[in-house]
Amino acid sequence: MTETAPPTFTPPTIDEALERLSMPLVEAMRTQRAVRRLHTDPVDLDLIYELLELSLKAPTSSNSQDWVYIVVTDKAQKERLGRLYVKWFPKLEPLYNRGATEQELRAAKPGRWQAEHFDELPVFVVPCYRSNLQHRAIGWPRISVTSYYGSVYPAVQNLLLACRAVGLGASLQTLPVAVTPVAKRVLGLPRGLTPVCVVPIGWAKGKYGPTTRAAIEDIVHIDRYGNQPPRPSRA
């Protein structure tokens, strides 16, 4: 019996991809997931710039806009960041998988695939936080520690939603920048710029959501932990 060759993948044009940004927000949110299995076909940087511009519409404290993006497409740079990822992933994977259910082990497979193919993924976006002298002078515990995330992650979520809308797969990764001084050297970051995560981006393989989440009444607590009244009925 002759095996059927897998269908070839043809990426959409930039115009076709941008037309998909009209996707209803609720659909993008309900079907968004961390997509780690990606096609290795190149992604046009003009499309990435359009999505990054949208991501910067996110709010920041006092409109400080303390963010910088490093967009990585160079193979050697991806290999350097990949070495940081591959160094930690095998050490942490057994901890994550210890006592995991069969369903949880299946869900972890895309993460292993991503680790094995990290430097083959088309584009990395590295969001960085730019601390100013006032933040650095506060002392320890530093308010800037939490500002790293609060000032940048809303823009990262905008980027993830925009990627979902146009058909790009993306996920938020922190292991490649876990050893911050090494990641800063690889990226050539000056003092005052701190990488907060890496977002690998490429055309998604397979399907998106809908995703499965716990019932809201199991997650929400009113006023203090433990006070979980029944979910209010919607009109």
Instruction: Work out the number of other CB atoms within 10 angstroms of the CB of residue 126.
Output: 23
Mean pLDDT value of segment 194-209: 90
Dihedral sign for Cα 90, 72, 48, 10, please: negative
Read off φ and ψ for residue 124, nearest 5 degrees.
Answer: -115, 135
Cα of 229 vs its chain's centroid, Å: 33
Whole-number percent of the chain with pLDDT over 70:
79
Q: Which domains does the chain have, with CATH numbers?
A: 30-206 (3.40.109.10)
Global pTM value: 0.84
Buried/exposed code over 4-34 (b: 16+ C-beta within 10 A; e: otherwise): eeeeeeebeeeeebbeeeebeeeebeeebbe
Q: Pick the closest to residue 81 from 173, 219, 147 (CA basis).
A: 173
Q: Which of 18-27, 66-75, 217-226 has the weakest average pLDDT?
A: 217-226
39-96 pLDDT, tens digit per residue, is 999 999 999 999 999 999 999 877 888 899 999 999 999 998 888 877 766 666 565 5
Residue with tokens 């993006």: 69
Sign of CA dihedral 200, 201, 203, 205: positive
Output the six-digit token pair for 121: 């993924």
The predicted-structure confidence for 121-170, as pLDDT tens digits, reads as follows 999 999 999 876 444 444 444 555 555 678 899 999 999 999 999 999 99
